C-alpha cells in the first residue's frame, strides 16, 4: 500500500501510534489503485488542450497529472525541494490536467 502511494517504505514513517500500519493508508488505497488504472504513466506522451508533452508527475489527491509541454523550453531542475517555491502556480512548462471526464 505504501509503495502504491509513493510513500517511504520505512516502517517508522508509515506506522501509527499503535505500531500498526496507519489506517489512512488502507482507507486511501482503493483511490490510489483506481487512479493508477486510469492515469497515464510518468513519461508517457499525452496531448492536452495546451499542447503535446510528457507526463512529469501525479497528484492523486487532486486527481490530476502534471505534464511538461514540448513547446516550453526545459529549465534545469531546482536544487531545493519545490513545494513551497510555487504556491500559486506551477513553474513554466508544467501544466496540470485533470483525469476526470468533462462535465456534461
Looking at the structure, do residues 62 and 34 belong to the same domain, yes or no?
no
* Residue for grid cell 517555491: 85
Q: Is residue 11 included in any domain, yes or no?
A: yes
Looking at the structure, do residues 67 and 25 belong to the same domain, yes or no?
no
Looking at the structure, do residues 16 and 55 belong to the same domain, yes or no?
no
Looking at the structure, do residues 49 and 84 belong to the same domain, yes or no?
yes
Looking at the structure, do residues 94 and 45 belong to the same domain, yes or no?
yes
Position 85 scores a pLDDT of 37
Looking at the structure, do residues 62 and 33 belong to the same domain, yes or no?
no
Q: Is the pLDDT of residue 93 over 70?
A: no
pTM of the model: 0.49
Domain count, the chain: 2
- Considering only residues 41 and 25, tell me which one the structure prediction assigns the higher pLDDT: 41
The domain containing residue 71 runs over which residues?
A: 41-98
CA dist 21 → 16, 26, 32, 36 (Å): 6, 8, 17, 22
The answer to whether 64 and 29 are in contact (CB under 8 A) is no
Looking at the structure, do residues 60 and 87 belong to the same domain, yes or no?
yes
* Residue for grid cell 508544467: 94
Q: Say how far apart CA 19 and CA 1 lie, in whole Å.
A: 16
Q: What would the pLDDT profile of 29-65 be if each residue is shown by its tens digit?
A: 788 788 888 888 888 888 888 788 888 888 877 778 8
Q: Is residue 103 included in any domain, yes or no?
A: no
Q: Say how far apart CA 50 and CA 65 lie, in whole Å.
A: 14
Amino acid at each position: 500500500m505504501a509503495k502504491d502511494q509513493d510513500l517511504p517504505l520505512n516502517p517508522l514513517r508509515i506506522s501509527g501510534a499503535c505500531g500498526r500500519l496507519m489506517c489512512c493508508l488502507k482507507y486511501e488505497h482503493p483511490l490510489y489503485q483506481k487512479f493508477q488504472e486510469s492515469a497515464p504513466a510518468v513519461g508517457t506522451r499525452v496531448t492536452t488542450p495546451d499542447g503535446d508533452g510528457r507526463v512529469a508527475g501525479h497528484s492523486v489527491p487532486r486527481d490530476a497529472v502534471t505534464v511538461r509541454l514540448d513547446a516550453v523550453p526545459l529549465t534545469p531542475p531546482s536544487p531545493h525541494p519545490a513545494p513551497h517555491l510555487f504556491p500559486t502556480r506551477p513553474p513554466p512548462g508544467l501544466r496540470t490536467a485533470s483525469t476526470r471526464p468533462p462535465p456534461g
